[in-house]
Structure 1
Amino acid sequence: MSFYSLRTLDGKASPLVGEMERNVFRTPLVQRYHYAAESMANIFSEQYRYSTWRKLWCWLAKGQQSLGLKITNEQIREMESNVQNIDFEKAAAEERKCRHDVLAHLNAFTAACPSANGVIHLGATSAFVTDNTDLIMIRDAFDILLPKLARCIDRLSSFAEKWKSQATLGLTHMQPAQLTTVGKRACMWIQDLLTDLIHIRRLRDGIKFRGIKGTTGTQASFLELFDGNHEKVNRLDKLVTEMAGFRSAYIICGQTYTRKLDVDCISALAGLGATVHKMCTDLRLLAHMKEMEEPFEKEYSSDSLVYKRNPTRSERCCSFARHLVSLVQNAYNTHSVQWFERTMDDSANRRICIPEAFLAADVLLSTLCSLTEGLVVYPRVIDRHIRQELPFMAQENIVMAAVRHGQDRRRCNEEFKRLKNEAAGVVKVILKLIKTRAQHIDQETSQSLCKKVFYPPSIPFKRKLLACYSLPSLTTKLL
C-alpha cells in the first residue's frame, strides 16, 4: 500500500485517519506540509481512487446499455448511488482472502449493489479500472498544479515590472560582468517557468485514456459481448472515454497504458523542480549579498544569532526540488523494464513514485507562491556594489575612447590589466589609466565614463516576454 492509503491491508485504520499515531511513519509531504498538499493528497487517497473505480464501472455499464446490452436503469441507479459508499472494512477482508485489490473492491461493490451483480465489470480486465483511474488522477493532479504555477508567474511578472529599471551587477562565473536589471533577471526565472507551464499544459491536454481494452490490449472480450460487432465496440470505447472527460483514447496499448507517459509526466515535474531550484539558489545568493530578501514574518532562529534572516523558504524549495528531480530516474527505470504486454514489477513502485512526484510539486509551488508574494529589494546595497565594480566594468568604454584619441588598443588593454592587478581590490585605477595612457581625455569625460550605466534601455520585460510566448490570456485563465 502507498503512504496515502486510508487503510492497511489488514483492514485497520491507517495513521492518516482520525487520531494520528506517533509511532508510525507518515510522509512529511502530507503530515508536515498538509497546508499545501491537502487537495493533492485527496486525489491520491483511497476514497478518490476506489470511488473512481466505481465511476468507471458505472460508465462502462451505461455505455453497454446504450449499445443494446441487457442492463436496466434500476441497476445503473443502484450502482451510481453507491459510488462513494465504500465499505473499506469489507474490501480489506476480501483482499486478505484473494490478495487482489481489484477483485476485493469488485466484491465489495457488488455486495452494495446486489441487483447489478451480473453487469458490473462486464468484459473488462483489472487494468480497465486501475490504469484509467491513474490517468484520471494524473490529469486532475495537473489541474491543481497549473493554476499555482500561473500564480507564481503572475507575481514574479509584477515584481519584474516594478524593478525593471533597477540596475544591478550581472554575474557570470559568479563574478561581476556587465550591468543588467533586477527586473530582467526576474524575467529569466519567468521565462523558465513559462516553459514549464507550456510543457505541462500541453502534456495535460494530450493525455489519452486507456479506454476499454482487454488483458493484452486487444478488445476481444468486448467483441464477444457484441457478437463481433466492431462498430459497437468502437462506439463503447468512445462513449466511456468521453464520460471520463478525455478527448481520445490510446489506439494501441498493452494490458496497461504505456509507462512512457509516466516518464513524460514525472520528467515535466522534474523540469519544474530544476527551474525552481535555480531560481531559489539565486535568491539565496542574493540574500547573502544583502541585495534581496524573502518576505519575513514570525520566523525565529534556533541559536543566539537572532539578527540572522535565513532564506528558509528558498531553502525549502530547493529541498523539495531536489527530491522531485531524483524521482525521474525511477520512472525511466520502470518504463524500460516492462516486458511485452505488461509485467507487475511496476505496480508497487508507481503507487509510491507518482503520488510522491505530484505531492512534492504541489508543496513546491505553494511554497514558491508565498515566497514570490513579498520579495524585498535593497537598491542602496545594489548601488553600492555597482559603485565598487563600475570602474572595472568601464574598461571597454574607456579603451574605445582612448583609441579614438589615437592610442593603441592592445597597449591600453595591457596597461588596464596591469593596473587592475595592482589594485588588488582597491577600485581607484581607472583615472590613473586615463592619465597614463589616454592623455587626451579630460577629467570630466573620464568621470562621466566611469559613472555611466552600461545596460540596454529599460523595456516592459513582462509584457514583451508574455507576448513572445502568446500567453497573457493563458496565465489569466489559469489564475
Structure 2
Amino acid sequence: MAIHPIDYRYGTPEMRAVWNEENRFRAIVMAEVALARAEAAHGMIPREDAETIAASAPKARLERAKEIEAEINHDMMAIVKAVTEVCGDAGRWIHYGATSNDILDTATALQLRDSLALIEEKLGKLLCVLLTRSAETKTLVCAGRTHGQIGVPTTYGLRFAIWASEVSRHIERLRQMRSRVVVGQLTGAVGTQAALGDNGIEIQATMMEFLGIRSVDVSNQIVSRDRYAEYFMFLANVATTLDKIGLEIRLMQRSEIGELAEAFGK
C-alpha cells in the first residue's frame, strides 16, 4: 500500500517506472550482460558464451531472484544465480571478475541516466511555457511586493522571466553534472581491477560503452557517493524553484487578491 503522496498522487508513472523494483532488476541484468560482452571483446571469456548470455540473461525473472535471496540472504548473489540458471553452461561466466557494487552501482548509473533524461525533458517544457508567458505578459502591470506589502509596479512578464531564468540554470546544471553523476565502474573488491588482469581499464571502458555511460576515473569498492550527493542537491535546488513558483501562485490567487487563478482538471 502506497503511503507517500509521491507514490499515489504526485509521482509520474515515467519516473516511478525508472526506480521501481522490476526496472532495478533489469538494469542489473543489463550490467551483467555488458560485463560478459566486454570480457569477450578482450578475450577474457569465450565470445560464444557472451553471446549466449546476451540472448538468455533477459529471460531471468525478479521473482526467481527473490526466491533465491530468501534462501541465501544475499541480494546480488541471488540475482547472479537467477541469471546463471537461464544461461546454461555459459552461466559460469556471469559476474566473472566483478564485485557486487561493480554491477549495483553501474545499474544505478543507468537509472540516474534515465531519470535525468526525464527531468531535463520536463524542465525544457516548463522553460518554454515560462518564456512564452513572459513574452505574452511583458506589459501586464501588477503590484510589486516586498515583505508582502505593495511596492512600486512591476509586470508579470518580469516574474515569468525570473522563473524562466532559474529553470534555464537548472537545465545547465543538469547537463554539466551528467558526466559526473552517470558513471559505472568495474574495479573489483578494492578498486585495483586485479581480477581482470592487464586489461582492466580497457574492459571497464568497453563495458560502459556497451551501456552508453561513462566510466569512473578511479574508485574503490563503490562509486564515490559525492556523485549521488550532487544529484540529490540538484533535485533540492529544482524543488526550491518549483516551491517558489507554486507559493507565488497560491498567494496571488487568494480570494482577497485574485490576481491569478489555477485551473483544475484537464
- TM-score, with structure 1 as normaliser: 0.53
**SS of alignment partner, residue 32 of structure 1:** helix
Query: What displacement does 1:149 show?
Result: 0.9
* Equivalent pairs, count: 264
Q: 1:276 — aligned with what?
A: 242
RMSD: 1.8
Judged with a 3 Å threshold, the aligned counterparts in structure 2 of structure 1 residues 49 and 147 are, in CA distance, closer, same or farther, namely same
Q: For 1:195-241, what per-residue CA distance to the aligned partner results, in whole angstroms no more than 9, with x for missing partners?
A: 21211222124335232111112211112xxxxx2xx2221121112
Contact between 1:159 and 1:183, CA under 8 Å: does it hold in 2?
Answer: yes
CA distance in 1, matches of 2:104, 2:188: 13
Q: Distance in 1 between matches of 2:82 and 2:234?
A: 37
Q: In 2, Cα distance between the equivalents of 1:57 and 1:240?
A: 9
Aligned letter for 2:140? Answer: Q
Matched, 1:37 2:12: yes
Higher mean C-alpha displacement, 248-257 vs 280-289: 248-257
Q: Cα distance 1:70–1:210, how it changes in 2: closer, same or farther (>3 A)?
A: closer
How many angstroms apart in 2 are the aligned matches of 1:119 and 1:83? 12
1:133-282 residue pairs with structure 2 within 5 A? 133-223=107-197, 229=198, 232-246=199-213, 248-282=214-248
* CA separation of 1:32 and 1:182: change in aligned 2, threshold 3 A: closer
Contact 2:205 2:215 in 1 (8 A): yes
Residue in 2 aligned with 1:67? 42
Which amino acid letter does the alignment assign opposite residue 200 of structure 2?
A: V
- Over 3 Å counting, the alpha-carbon distance change for 1:110 and 1:61 in structure 2 is same
SS of the counterpart of 1:84?
helix
Q: Which residue of 2 aligns with 1:13?
A: none
TM-score w.r.t. the length of structure 2 is 0.92
Letter in 2 for 1:295: A
Q: 1:52 aligns with which of 27, 44, 47?
A: 27
Letter matched to residue 103 of structure 1: M
**1:292 partnered with 2:260:** yes
Say which one has the larger Rg: 1
Q: Can you list the C-alpha shifts for 1:145-172, whole angstroms capped at 9, x where unaligned?
A: 1111110111111111111011111111
Report the counterpart of residue 102 of structure 1 in structure 2. Answer: 76
> How far off its partner does 1:25 sit?
4.3
C-alpha separation between the residues in 1 aligned to 2:55 and 2:21?
18
How high is the sequence identity, in percent, across the aligned residues?
A: 23
Instruction: Return the offset for 1:117.
Output: 2.2
Q: CA deviation at 1:245?
A: 0.8
Give the unaligned 5+ runs of structure 2. Answer: none
Instruction: Tell me if structure 2 keeps the 8 A contact 1:168–1:182.
Output: yes
Is the counterpart of residue 125 in structure 1 residue 99 in structure 2? yes
Query: What is the identity, as a one-letter code, of the residue corresponding to 2:23?
Result: Y
Which residue type is aligned with residue 82 of structure 2? Answer: A
Which SS does the other structure have where 1:263 is aligned?
A: helix
In 2, Cα distance between equivalents of 1:276 and 1:53:
33
CA distance in 2, matches of 1:281, 1:149: 18
In 1, are the aligned partners of 2:185 and 2:223 still within 8 Å (CA)? Answer: no
User: Are the aligned partners of 2:187 and 2:193 in contact in 1 as well (CA < 8 Å)?
Assistant: yes
Residues in 2 aligned to 1:259 and 1:211: alpha-carbon distance in whole angstroms: 13
Q: Secondary structure at the match of 1:157?
A: helix
Change (3 A) 1:194 1:70: closer
Give distance in 1, aligned partners of 2:110 and 2:62.
21
SS in 2 for 1:170: strand
1:376-397 CA distances to partner (integer Å, 9 max, x unpaired)?
xxxxxxxxxxxxxxxxxxxxxx
Instruction: Give yes or no for contact 2:187–2:200 (8 Å, CA) kept in 1.
Output: no
Query: Which amino acid in structure 2 is aligned with residue 162 of structure 1?
Result: E
Give distance in 1, aligned partners of 2:131 and 2:156.
Answer: 12
Amino acid of the structure 1 residue aligned with 2:107: T
Shift of 1:264: 0.6
Distance 1:28 1:170 in 2: 34
Q: Is the 8 A contact 2:53 2:87 kept in 1?
A: yes
Unaligned 5+ runs, structure 1: 1-23, 224-228, 298-369, 371-479
Q: What do residues 295-335 of structure 1 show as CA deviations (whole Å, max 9, x unaligned)?
A: 244xxxxxxxxxxxxxxxxxxxxxxxxxxxxxxxxxxxxxx
Q: Does structure 1 conserve the Cα–Cα contact (< 8 Å) formed by 2:183 and 2:216?
A: yes
In proportion to residue count, which structure has more helix? 2
Equivalent residues of 1:164, 1:181 under 8 A apart: yes
| CA deviation after TM superposition for structure 1 residue 125, in Å | 0.4
CA distance in 1, matches of 2:146, 2:164: 19
Output the amino acid matched with 2:185: G
What amino acid does structure 2 have at the position aligned with 1:31? Y
Contact 1:196 1:272 in 2 (8 A): yes
Structure-2 change in CA distance of 1:158 and 1:207 (3 Å)? same
Q: Distance in 1 between matches of 2:159 and 2:52?
A: 59
- The worse-fitting range, judged by mean Cα deviation, of 134-143 and 174-183 is 174-183
Q: What's 1:115 paired with?
A: 89
Q: For residues 86-110 of structure 1, give each alpha carbon's deviation from its aligned partner in whole angstroms, at most 9, with x where no partner exists.
A: 3333212211121111100111111
